[in-house]
Amino acid sequence: MRRYFGRKLLVYGLTFFVAVTINWMVPRFMPGDPISSMVARAGASNPAAAETMRAYYTELFGLDQPIWQQYLNFWAALFQGDFGISIWAFPSPVSEVILGAVPYTLALMIPAVLLSWVVGNWFGAFAARRKALDNAVLPVGYVLTAMPYMWLAVLLAWGLGVVAGIFPVAGGYSFSMRPNWSWDFILDLLHHWTLPFASLFLVALGGWAIGMRNMIIYELESDYSNYLSALGAPQRLIRRYAFRNAVLPQITGLALQLGVLVAGALVTEIVFSYPGLGSLILKAIQNQDFFLLQGTFLFIVLGVLIANFIIDIVYVVVDPRTRAGMAGAQA
């Protein structure tokens, strides 16, 4: 058990290290000296920001210091939770801007990911080796999983928002409202949340359904299924076993798909101008706000790593073989 988690944590630790290093390196070693051009550009539109930035750079990065010192400084600042100052939302610190957006992204992603996983697995398992259903689920699944996330988002927004007028197509809540804890506001939040959630959910659903369908077919062909059939066990029992065993690789698949799902959430938010990290990234890019962009990058990496670790724990709880092997190793 300790060895298993030790290894995982080592990978995650190294991943974080690599991510931070990329974050530090890219602005420094990209052609065209982006930092000075960034300061210059900011100076044109917002002189006060440029001044603060220049001071910030000199203090934090000390561009005249040796490279390794700059690198260490970068880490030191990171551990103090200092991601710099946002230009777009000047003079808010980047961490504050990001923390304001994170709840929206999580509120979109967590339900969409979990529900699409559960429902997709259920559909896939149900369709496998049932000809008529399979012929319906499979093509729909492939179309959904081949769709760019933003395109389904645009289609839903256009069809159900612009044309039918049932749902709003922009923002996290109505412009006329101020965030508060009234029922009106919560309903308004839900109203704005529905379409982005639905589009994220639907695209992800296709992939899970197909994955589960293929895994179940594989499990139904396996030796233990054949043995149970030979002993006359009902299909119900065999399918239950197959499902249980097929879910395990789907859990691993969830970990592997996290990156894609995050990407999907980001572009979906952009379509709906949903005030999460995706819209933040768009603003950062449009305003050349590199601090904000880099801070968001680290937050996303951190979030994905934490999610990975949670999935690892779930896997150990669900797969008896990992525990059995561990018990043996300890004895």
Q: Which of residues 167-186 bind other proteins (CB under 8 A)?
A: 169
Among 63, 65, 151, 187, binds other proteins (CB under 8 A): 151
- As a whole number of angstroms, the distance between CA 21 and CA 12 comes to 14
3-state SS of 129-166? CCHHHHHHHHHHHHHHHHCCHHHHHHHHHHHHHHHCCC
Q: Which of residues 32-91 bind other proteins (CB under 8 A)?
A: 32, 34
Q: Which of residues 224-243 bind other proteins (CB under 8 A)?
A: 224, 226-234, 236-237, 241
Among 266, 274, 280, 291, binds other proteins (CB under 8 A): 266
Residue nearer to other proteins on the CB measure, 134 or 185:
134
Residue nearer to other proteins on the CB measure, 15 or 52:
15
Q: Which of residues 17-36 bind other proteins (CB under 8 A)?
A: 18-19, 22-23, 26-27, 30-32, 34
Residue nearer to other proteins on the CB measure, 11 or 67:
11
Number of H helices, E strands in the chain: 13, 0
Q: Which of residues 117-146 bind other proteins (CB under 8 A)?
A: 131, 139, 142-143, 145-146
Cβ within 8 Å of residue 278, ≥6 positions away? 105, 265, 266, 267, 268, 269, 270
- As a whole number of angstroms, the distance between CA 170 and CA 214 comes to 38
Among 245, 249, 315, 326, binds other proteins (CB under 8 A): 245
Cβ atoms 234, 131 nearer than 8 A: no
**285 near other proteins, judged by CB under 8 A:** yes
User: Which residues does residue 85 pair with via DSSP β-bridges, in sequence order?
Assistant: 93
Using CA atoms, how far residue 150 sits from 15, 30, 92, 254, in Å, is: 28, 29, 29, 21
**321 near other proteins, judged by CB under 8 A:** yes
**297 near other proteins, judged by CB under 8 A:** yes
- For the chain, give the number of residues: 331
Residue nearer to other proteins on the CB measure, 48 or 233:
233
**310 near other proteins, judged by CB under 8 A:** no
**164 near other proteins, judged by CB under 8 A:** no
- Tell me phi and psi for residue 93, to 5 degrees: -65, 145
Using alpha carbons, select from 21, 34, 12 the residue that is nearest to residue 72.
21
User: What are the tokens at 139?
Assistant: 């093509």
**11 near other proteins, judged by CB under 8 A:** yes
Among 107, 250, 281, 291, binds other proteins (CB under 8 A): 281
**205 near other proteins, judged by CB under 8 A:** no
Among 69, 110, 320, 329, binds other proteins (CB under 8 A): 320
